[in-house]
Structure 1
């Protein structure tokens, strides 16, 4: 292996919320379209190197009775009239039949899901993490990946938040303490070096 960033055969490329509704999210400093395109650009190199693409999506029952509902200072919106196919993966993800889709109901994709089981059954040690939103789904999942003992690599230009300030705060104050931060180009180069 010529690259030491990760061993592709024990690495999962985990995308957070690359689903239809993401096109309607505020996204900065990168647009949702840019984030989708950058994640999509990593998928085929990951496959070619033997890494596992994993697609995490947020989904609820139609009445959202399985949505979390604690008391909060900022009320999370409920969506009684969601757009059609809101929780389906965007076509750019080009998911293959043997690639896991993990359903999450919280900011942390490990909570109440089979994500850890899917990864451990396949011998995954490193998670390359990207998606929307940087400071919620990506950060929540990254913190728990760290707690589960995974090496985590955050793809800084393949994620976005509601504001550039929120995005940068996670990149500067959280991610370096629970993993490594790299660019899409660096991740693609590391996969291609092992293909």
Structure 2
């Protein structure tokens, strides 16, 4: 019995807690990202995703409607998975952890191609909305690092959290999407140092 069969078989109201539904969603989005990693967005089909996830194609069409909506949701999911907001007690080390998280995310096979494709497909309203959700979610999560630094007195109260995160992250994405050099420890250190040099003025 695949995930879709299990979901349809469980019809008793007392059992419809959302757990099975959540597992189906995770399985489909994981399969979508794996398919993109292996074959690119251009090689993604609903049928292949369904087979990999162990669900029926009708389940995917019923939940997401279109291939574009499925890709959009998968992109959004990337922002939330495996990236807990650091809280080391130090702005420098928090920024370093954030930079390493970005580095690990975009170093995953196929992710750079996925991000590039999403940018290219941004004329599609669904993809554009997903792109905005992706960045808004990452900025919202990362901003807690800055607000805590302000509370500790490491940064001035007028510091804009989004600007700090942009300063830290932009060189990392640029190096992967545009440049050809790898992101190594020295580059991450430089990104952190540059961010602190620009924004790291303690409260007075």
Query: TM-score band (shorter)?
Result: under 0.3
Of structures 1 and 2, the one with the larger relative CO (CA 8 A, separation 6+) is 1
In our comparison, the structure showing a higher alpha carbon Rg is: 2
- TM-score by length of structure 1 reads 0.28
Q: Which has the higher helix share?
A: 2
Q: Which has the higher strand share?
A: 1
- TM-score by length of structure 2 reads 0.27
